[in-house]
Every structure is written in structure tokens, then in C-alpha cells.
Structure 1
Amino acid sequence: MRLNVKHVTRYSFDTPARGLVQTHKLIPSTCGSQNILSWTVTTGDAIRGAAFRDSAGDMVETISVRGPVDELVIEVIGEVETVDLFGVLRNYRETVPPTTYLRRTRMIRPDTALRELSAAALEGLDGDSALNRAHALARAVNEAIEYVPGATEEMTTAAEALAGGKGVCQDHTHALIAVAHAADIPARYVAGYLHSGEDAMGEASHAWAELYVQGLGWVGFDASNRCCPDERYIRLCSGYDAQDAAPIRGIMNAGVKEHLDVSVAVMSQYQQ
């Protein structure tokens, strides 16, 4: 499938900021399931700094803007050819060991309820394959947390989403990572794009989890849609949780009120 992406992020400020610095992870991953045909990131008058591939395999670029800054617009336009590898991350270069992703942050720390959900999902599967156990965890999260847009907030934790029984793709992903950690399975947060059409849960800007499956390596699981990422997905970057995997992170001088507007469109040119 050939997917076209247009992703515009607009920052505006009530009073001009003296300056800002941002770190971007806005270039899709280099891996077997996707081939970048064209990709452009425009940052207006920003000064573009270092660009490098980090130890997790993500392309990172820094930008800085000298003040006064009233507005910053970041525009991403690109085309990617994708293939379905059944969620398996192939031909991906990283140097950190999988066990790094057993680290627990506030967003993904498993509480008693998440541990119980993990144990219940894996009950009777001790002799089953690692892949089937991972699928069981993803199904359990999907059944425990109903997909309801607006039901949670940016800083809602996995434990809070499970307690409320409602959430969005970020909550499903955090919860899946948490139940995987409860079972001592390395797991991480993936940010990317989804050509959702009419059948999929989620917006064009999407998130899912990758679990480390013995014998296969990293495998993606979209608990919101009860599937593994296929040709409808573009993998952008990863991290411990949504904050760590954010495609755009930045700092600016304190005391300035920021307004953020984001629009993302993913269109399919053709299907194979």
C-alpha cells in the first residue's frame, strides 16, 4: 500500500516566547515493513541542529527558534510504501537490549488490578507459545478498556484507564505495556500513523505497543483494533511511554501560555 501523510503542528503563544528548543522524531523508522518514497519536514525560520539515529533506532533532530516567537508551524508531508509483515519488526537497527524496555514509568506502572488482568489473561497458557501469550494480553486489554474518545486525558495512567474502563489508543497501549511488564515481557510504546478508513478505531495519528516475543523479536500489537500493525500503519518512533515516544518534545521560557493545534491526514493511493 502507498500512504500519503500530511501532519501539521501549530504552536501559538499569548505573549511572544523569548525562544524555544525542540527535539523531533518526525522521520519514519527504517524497517522492513515500510519504504520512504518522499518525506519533508518544514520548520519555518527555525535553526536546524544535530540530526542522528539514537540507540533505540529513531531518527532525531533538534531545532531552535530565537525570539520573540509568536507562532511556530511544523509541517510534515510524505509518502511511504508499506507491506504487511504481521506486526514483526524486521531489518530495524537499534543497539539497546530488549530488557531495557522492562523499565517502568509512572504512566505504565502496573498496579494490583493490572497485575490481576495480566495473570487472568495468561491463565492456562503456561505451555503455549510466546506469541499466543502476547495476543492474549492484547485481547484482555481490549476487552477491559472500551475505546471512547475524550474519556481520558494526556496524563492518564494505565492504572487509571483500567479503573475507568474507557480510553483511547494511548490508554490501550499503556495498559498493554503494563500487563506485559507484569508478566516480565519487555514492551514499548510506538507512535505512528494509521490509515483508519471506516473500520478501525483511532485517529490518523495513532499508537500501539511492541512486545518482545522470543523467536520473533519485536512484534507490534494494536490493542484498540485487536490486530497487529499491517500495511495501514506507518511506524514513526518508540519509547517507554507516550511522553518518551512523543514525536515532538520541547522547552521554552516559563510564563508563556501555549496553544497547540494538530491536524493529521493519512490517505491511501492504492492497495495491493
Structure 2
Amino acid sequence: MRLAVRHETHYRFDTPLAQGLQRLRLSPKENHGQSVRAWRMELTGARVEVVYDDHNANHVTLASILPGTTELVIACEGVVDTADRAGVVGRHNGRLPLWAFQCQSPLTRPGARLKALAAPLAAVGDDRLAQLHSLSQAVLGAVTYAPGHTDVGTSAEEALAAGRGVCQDHAHIFIGAARLLGFPARYVSGYLLIEGRTEQDAGHGWAEAHVDGLGWVGFDVSNGISPDARYVRVASGRDYAEAAPVTGITWGQTASSLSVSLAVEQQAVQQ
């Protein structure tokens, strides 16, 4: 499947900034089932300082905000070819060893609720892949998809207590529980083609767990499936904080507003 993506993030600042830095994980990477045909990023109000691959093998652009900026625009556009591999990404790469993905983070650290969710699955046979699918179903059953009740700082345990959340919350709960069950697990940020809808409010997030013999396997808890050809994989990390599309720090700011426009659509492939 050939997918075209247009993604713009627009910040408006009440007063001119003195300076700032933005870490941008907005460039898809090549992997099994995904080929990047074209991708470009344009910045207004900032300049690129360096481009590098981080410890998770994500493509990262470090940009400095120009002094006096009142509007910052990050615009990305590109075309990615994808294939349905039943969620299987394959072998591990990056600088972090697999065992690092078994360590909990503040966003995935289990409390009593998360431990209770994972406990019944510890005795689910010897089929490790089936165990993870059962976990995905359990997470979705425990937390209804409902925007507006959590934010980027909400932990897995807090989302479980609320019983409502979004894709980020589902992924963090899955990751925390999978680690309790002995799986290396990580967060993935990217894009999803939604049937009948081109314009979207935000990117998408899901989880991956490492299964012996298969490597990394994806689980989109919010949609109850493993990622297929409709998904564009952009960045991964031990939790959302390591895979967030945009993070940064500014000086001289009093207040700001943020707007995002995103479009994902299928393109015809010429034979």
C-alpha cells in the first residue's frame, strides 16, 4: 500500500521567544514491510542544527528556534510504501539491549491495578503470542477509548484507575503488563490510514513486544488488531517520552497555543 502523509504542527507564542530547542522524531524509517519513497521537513521560525539516529534507531532532527520567533511551524510531507506483515517488525536493532525494554518507566510502572490485570495471563499456556493477544483484549476491556480524560503525562496505572483513555494509555498499560509477564516491550508512534477519513486530529500510537522466534510484534490495543499495511511506523522507545514526535524547551515564553493538521491517504501505485 502506498500512503501519503501531510503533517503540520503550528505553535503560536504570546511574546517573542529568546531561544529554544526542539527534538523532532517525525521522519519514518525503513524496516521490514516499510519503504520510504520520499519525505521532507520544512521549518518556519527555526533552523536545523543536526540530524542523527538516537539510541532507539529513530531518525531525529534537532532544531533551534530563532530568537524573536512568535510562530513556529513544523511541516512534514512524504510517501511511504507499506506491507501487511501481521504486525511482525522483526529482529531487534538500536543501541539499547533487549533487557532494557523489560525495565519499567514512570509511565508504565505497575501499581495494584496493573498487576491485577496481568496476573491471570501469567498462566495462559505456552503460546506466548496468544498470551499477548489476550493481554491486548484485556486492556481494551478495562479502559474504554475516550479522548479528553488523560494527557501525555498520564501513567498506565492512572489510566487504568480512570477506566478511560486513548491510544497512548492503551499502549502504556499493555507495555507495563507485558513487562510483568517477562516480555521486552516498547512504545511506537506513527500514522494510521483511517477508512473514509483523510483529515485527522493527531498521530497514532501502539505497542510492540518481543517474541522469541519472531522478534518485535506490534499490538494496536485501541483498534484490537496488529498493525497492517495501513500503518506508518515513525519512532519507538521504552515509552511515549522516548518516541514523542515533538519535544523541546523554550526561554522567554509566557503562553502559547498549538494546532495540528494531519492527513493520511492512500495513493494509487503505478504498475
Q: Specify the TM-score bucket, using the shorter chain as the normaliser.
A: over 0.9
Deviations 1:195-214 (A, max 9, x none): 02259xx9651000011111
The answer as to whether partners of 2:13 and 2:253 remain within 8 angstroms in 1 is no
- Structure-2 separation of matches of 1:236 and 1:98: 20
- Structure-2 separation of matches of 1:154 and 1:95: 25
Residues 66 and 255 of structure 1: CA distance in aligned 2, closer, same or farther (over 3 Å)? closer
Deviations 1:156-183 (A, max 9, x none): 2111111111111011001101111221
- Structure-1 separation of matches of 2:246 and 2:253: 20
Q: CA deviation at 1:136?
A: 1.3
Partner of 1:46: 46
The aligned amino acid for 2:81 is E
- Structure-2 separation of matches of 1:203 and 1:82: 22
- Count how many residue pairs are aligned between Structure 1 and Structure 2: 268
The answer as to whether partners of 2:15 and 2:253 remain within 8 angstroms in 1 is no
Q: SS state of the match for residue 72, structure 1?
A: strand
Deviations 1:107-126 (A, max 9, x none): 11111111111112344x1x
Tell me whether 224-233 or 250-259 shows the greater mean CA deviation. 250-259
Q: CA deviation at 1:68?
A: 0.7
The answer as to whether partners of 2:14 and 2:253 remain within 8 angstroms in 1 is no
- Structure-1 separation of matches of 2:92 and 2:80: 16
Partner of 2:216: 218
Q: CA deviation at 1:66?
A: 2.3
The aligned amino acid for 2:49 is G
Q: Map 1:153-172 to 2 at 5 A.
A: 153-172=151-170
- Structure-2 separation of matches of 1:150 and 1:271: 38
Q: CA deviation at 1:128?
A: 2.1
Partner of 1:130: 128
Q: Map 1:38-117 to 2 at 5 A.
A: 38-90=38-90, 93-117=93-117
Q: CA deviation at 1:19?
A: 1.4
- Structure-1 separation of matches of 2:140 and 2:120: 14
- Structure-2 separation of matches of 1:36 and 1:19: 33
Partner of 2:137: 139
Equivalent position to 2:190, from 189, 192, 205: 192
Q: CA deviation at 1:221?
A: 0.4
User: What's the Cα RMSD here?
Assistant: 2.0
Partner of 1:209: 207
For structure 1, the 5+ residue unaligned runs are none
For structure 2, the 5+ residue unaligned runs are none
Equivalent position to 2:234, from 217, 233, 236: 236
Deviations 1:89-136 (A, max 9, x none): 13774232111112222211111111111112344x1x3222111111
Tell me whether 68-77 or 37-46 shows the greater mean CA deviation. 37-46
Residues 93 and 187 of structure 1: CA distance in aligned 2, closer, same or farther (over 3 Å)? closer
Equivalent position to 1:250, from 248, 251, 261: 248
- Structure-1 separation of matches of 2:227 and 2:201: 14
- Identity within the alignment, %: 40
Equivalent position to 2:181, from 170, 180, 183: 183
The alignment's TM-score, normalised by the length of structure 2, stands at 0.93
The answer as to whether partners of 2:92 and 2:216 remain within 8 angstroms in 1 is no
Residues 269 and 136 of structure 1: CA distance in aligned 2, closer, same or farther (over 3 Å)? same
- Structure-1 separation of matches of 2:72 and 2:234: 21
The alignment's TM-score, normalised by the length of structure 1, stands at 0.92
